[in-house]
Structure 1
């Protein structure tokens, strides 16, 4: 009966829905065969053999159901509604999931059968019959679903060698043949899914890459083909360096077409950059990198022409050019599995190739592209965002490269934008990444650049006064200060004049009580880290201790207000972290918390003096251990009372009184 349900006439989910009701049974049956229980040992072999036979038959029946209408049946597809098409495509995905499940039962036998179905369809063409491409596509679709199920050295490789070494992709690459576009689309996806196979068998790469590069010129194939090209070049970069000139030529042809897809351009440039990265020396990389920048400069010239015509498309072309640069930068990054010499290891190194001569010329050329686009588009926010992303591609690198700019160059560019009030959040976010990348052991010290950012932040905070004025900018400020704590905390706590530094810490304290959860979380992270800082050089540690002493009472008050019902329920765990660190690391924590809790009606009129005392004693006795979070949550619930489902209570007026820092920092 179950097999009969799969043989019901009509297209699945478009003309009949019975076949779709059998998935659960066949999945459960396959799982039973993988772990049979209640079967006698002497009957187990017979049951498994019979079960495999039934599942294999079901797969074949599902395979017939997923074939896309073609030939004289294509009118059926055209007559379907959108819901019918969507239902049919969902059915195909469900079949793919089922094939992956039953593969555990059938193993390599299923794989061989699917490959043989493809070969059989092509063999019919040799005999004078037309290739039934609907059958080929259905088999490739099922094979695609199995790509993640193979081991590192699967026995299925033999079948894949036959598939990829045969004439299938030669035929598909000939666009003079009338082949359904869906067959080509599925073939393109299949190649990308089996990039691990091509790593093991690089001799099969030329045929499939030729097919893919030809396919990117077809709009309906461009994105999937470029995705597969990117996957192959990332996995097999080391074996493809000899094909680099061919790839550059293929891209040049593709990018010159009027129908070149933007996303495909980005992906193919990234793919080629993967291969460039695999070249053994920087000198060998120079020429290809210059070619890649030349392609981007063509888009820049188009953008400038559109700007002169006041054409609204200029911005889109500018963004495309910058995204292409980002793709190139990502492609040139050294893979994580490649051993590198970390900064500070080994003898002092001379200036890198990219910091002098022809290499430096390339860097300046790249920077000119970014500057030209930003200035030509009048500091447009989205363009500035994309420009910042170009710089971020170099932050991930630990070795010199064309996208690894000097910190002073990046800082100058970023602060020029920020001082004009453009995309402050993006500027500070990029600055955060730069500080983090220069906070590891052996990385260059960028104290000068960090101080320049500090001056900007001070001016910004003076202008905002209250973090609630501009929550996004406030979050960026606090997160930048967070990044400073690992290596550049001295710049923060020894900043002069003292009054401005005092103002900045007050700003971060107030950030604990704003409405926006991301600002509050960033501030909580800052204080949790700051009150825990230890083992710094004596002058720096003394300054840190002075700031903690100055802010202790106000910090305790802010934290008590938050965990005492002022913050939303989802924010309690975040606020518990600085509270735990305060109690664990600061000897005056009990005094500060007691002072905050001693106020009548604070943090909530629902709390009695007894409950506040019990909370204080519990938190102090736990000394920052895990159980503190539960105590804090119970305190929050008690403070909220019957209103615990409310998102947030209005914050109380919290006055922050500071003593002069001079006594602590002397």
Structure 2
């Protein structure tokens, strides 16, 4: 492969390609310890010489990029030194310089990938050997790849790959720092300084383009640039462990400088970087001090200004920063007025309204206690919002959720009535509009109004939930307020139910409406005290009973019924039993309409079986008294043979639950025993056929669960399983009676232990023609 005067370049090129193929073959053989590398290694030096020949550069760079990525162990110390010389050469600097000016030709791209492959393969040496001039030059070249002209993922094809290398570099430094303990490596300070330079270069690359340029990008360009910004965010989050609060303070200072100079796109890039650090920073005083300077500056006033053409993206990123740093505003309520004024002013702009509404919800949820005195102003502002063109579904539901969060913080239920009533009146306008548009045959407005009403109610319900960190006095013995059970509270709750039922009855075919209706119901399930959205069980039952097989998201409706039963599982009052009976009978009706076939609608079947599962053991009497309850058991057995995993999974869980021994007596005990005796043999037959080869391997753990419970709880299981194994329709001829008997004894001895899963998999493999682990 050596190049000599007059030699055919094409021949040498083919030699390089042949050498590449042999090296890649040697990699596999070397892993298997079946080949010595020494016969090939002397040729590497000749290949490196070819890197200096212009006509062979591309093919040789491809060779070494491939080797560095897949088989760097092939290269000797001498090879690495030679490659280092190439990567730090004058020609290498010229290529990288061209990349920085935007010259993305084939040679330059190939060289950049070669450089990055070297960096990935020897990142430890690049980090540690800070005094090595060749390696330092290579590190500098790698850093220069982040400074290339053009937008990442659009014109700049290399920057995204470069940021991946620097992420690897940073992670290595972090690992080294933790491994070193108290003794910091001598090379660490220089290596950390390089990460600072990487962040400075990345800050430039994440700047948004001017509006006209951004508008000219296609979807691929936008996705590429967005992906690069996400990579930079990940790098920033990792780097905080290494750089600490210094990097936060540096960025915050940069934001203030950009604000002062009115450099709006620079400001957006800086705020984007600060947002990336929100989950990493601690509550150090220095962090709060810098945030006070930033949020106490003209930031919110400038962002609210209509006199200067500030890019919408800059305003949006400022709003995102409010959402990311809500904990700061909890500690420093003095900045709330300016911040909220900015957000509400932004609701007027179509490009900003959605982000502003999200930030309002986040701020109100976090600072609810401090905002109670301003509740009246919030209600007035919402009424003004209804007159704006930006009063769309998303905006309204987020803002109304924020206001409801403030109401939740009011201590007395009686004092909540007034503001809640006002919010309900606002939402009732959408319900009235829904009916009006339906009567006028304005389909689009009809749907939009109905969806808006229910999503706003769902947002209210979620916001009115007690915060997860709310204080609960376990020693308090004062009776709970009866406000929501009678009088004004009860009438307001009835109004909510009426609004929900009105819209859902008109649009049961609309999945958004059905999902929002279910979310309204679910919002009260987690509450331990009475409230506006803590409905009696019959409200959920009415929604379920009104749903038919053609109702949109019927599976979600059934899941909601499951959640309701879980909520009241420890409250076996007559009303709950009545609700459970109604739900059971309704489920049997749905099964009948499905023709008893789970595969006709796997999602509905799965949710229906899950609902039946929730009946055990607390509502077994409701199951027992249901008409044609055998439909349920037949349906669940068919679920075990379904091709779809969802009904198979829930059916397996149902039987794993049902076959256990419960402390029941009387008619319920007789019912459970009769069902077990009738369906136990069929259950065993289906499980054995599945485990005997019909099931997919991924389904075996699911099917092992009812088998474990059955063997542990039911003495008859041995006979049932033995009969199933000796059945003529056993699906495999790969195992004989001896293997079956050994496997059954293994299962019986395990008695539900974890080893059952392994035994099931081994038997399945044997039935598929592989070695049977338990044969003797």
Mark yes or no: TM-score above 0.5: yes
User: Any idea what the Cα deviations from partners look like across 1:229-268, whole Å, max 9, x if unmatched?
Assistant: 2222222222222222222222222222123232122111
Query: Matched residue of 2:279: which SS?
Result: helix
**Residue 245 of structure 2 contacts residue 281 of structure 2 at CA under 8 Å; is this kept in 1?**
no
Tell me whether 1:112 sits opposite 2:212 in the alignment.
no
Match of 1:557 among 685, 709, 728: 685
Greater relative contact order (CA < 8 Å, ≥ 6 in sequence): 1
Q: Distance in 2 between matches of 1:638 and 1:533?
A: 32
The more displaced of 595-604 and 400-409 is 595-604
Instruction: Measure how far apart 1:524 and its partner are.
Output: 0.8
Tell me whether 1:289 sits opposite 2:426 in the alignment.
no
Q: Distance in 2 between matches of 1:425 and 1:83?
A: 36
Tell me whether 1:91 sits opposite 2:228 in the alignment.
yes
Q: After superposition, where does 1:30-429 map in structure 2 within 5 Å? A: 30-36=170-176, 47-70=187-210, 76-124=213-261, 131-153=262-284, 155-313=286-444, 314-340=446-472, 349=479, 352-377=482-507, 383-418=513-548, 424-429=554-559
**Residue 640 of structure 2 contacts residue 647 of structure 2 at CA under 8 Å; is this kept in 1?**
yes
User: Any idea what the Cα deviations from partners look like across 1:164-199, whole Å, max 9, x if unmatched?
Assistant: 122211211223332121211111111111112222
Residues 352 and 379 of structure 1, relative CA distance in 2, 3 Å threshold: farther
| Equivalent residue number for residue 721 of structure 2 | 593
| Equivalent residue number for residue 446 of structure 1 | 576
Residues 341 and 370 of structure 1, relative CA distance in 2, 3 Å threshold: farther
Residues 159 and 549 of structure 1, relative CA distance in 2, 3 Å threshold: same
Q: Distance in 2 between matches of 1:308 and 1:9?
A: 59
Query: Matched residue of 1:156: which SS?
Result: helix
Larger radius of gyration: 2
The more displaced of 448-457 and 271-280 is 448-457
Tell me whether 1:516 sits opposite 2:647 in the alignment.
no
| Equivalent residue number for residue 75 of structure 2 | none
**Residue 604 of structure 1 contacts residue 639 of structure 1 at CA under 8 Å; is this kept in 2?**
yes
| Equivalent residue number for residue 614 of structure 1 | 742
**Residue 222 of structure 1 contacts residue 261 of structure 1 at CA under 8 Å; is this kept in 2?**
no
Instruction: Measure how far apart 1:148 and its partner are.
Output: 0.9
Query: Matched residue of 1:155: which SS?
Result: helix
Residues 78 and 453 of structure 1, relative CA distance in 2, 3 Å threshold: closer
Instruction: Measure how far apart 1:303 and its partner are.
Output: 1.4
User: Any idea what the Cα deviations from partners look like across 1:370-391, whole Å, max 9, x if unmatched?
Assistant: 2222344477665344323322
Regions of 4+ moved over 6 Å: 37-43, 345-348, 419-423
Instruction: Measure how far apart 1:331 and its partner are.
Output: 0.9
Tell me whether 1:430 sits opposite 2:570 in the alignment.
no
**Residue 438 of structure 1 contacts residue 445 of structure 1 at CA under 8 Å; is this kept in 2?**
no
Residues 572 and 110 of structure 1, relative CA distance in 2, 3 Å threshold: same
| Equivalent residue number for residue 663 of structure 1 | none
Q: Distance in 2 between matches of 1:194 and 1:67?
A: 22
Q: CA RMSD in A?
A: 3.0
Query: Matched residue of 2:306: which SS?
Result: coil
Residues 177 and 636 of structure 1, relative CA distance in 2, 3 Å threshold: same
**Residue 236 of structure 2 contacts residue 273 of structure 2 at CA under 8 Å; is this kept in 1?**
yes
How many residues were matched structurally?
628
Q: Distance in 2 between matches of 1:415 and 1:44?
A: 68
Tell me whether 1:577 sits opposite 2:705 in the alignment.
yes
Instruction: Measure how far apart 1:420 and its partner are.
Output: 9.4
Query: Matched residue of 1:624: which SS?
Result: coil
Q: Which ranges of structure 2 fall in alignment gaps of 5 or more residues?
A: 1-139, 771-776
Instruction: Measure how far apart 1:630 and its partner are.
Output: 1.3
| Equivalent residue number for residue 24 of structure 2 | none
TM-score (norm 1): 0.86
User: Any idea what the Cα deviations from partners look like across 1:109-156, whole Å, max 9, x if unmatched?
Assistant: 2111111112223344xxxxxx11122112111111110111244631
| Equivalent residue number for residue 660 of structure 1 | none
Q: Distance in 1 between matches of 2:717 and 2:233?
A: 59
**Residue 347 of structure 2 contacts residue 353 of structure 2 at CA under 8 Å; is this kept in 1?**
yes
Q: Distance in 1 between matches of 2:266 and 2:488?
A: 55
Q: Distance in 1 between matches of 2:687 and 2:718?
A: 13
TM-score (norm 2): 0.75
Query: Matched residue of 2:662: which SS?
Result: coil
Residues 438 and 82 of structure 1, relative CA distance in 2, 3 Å threshold: closer
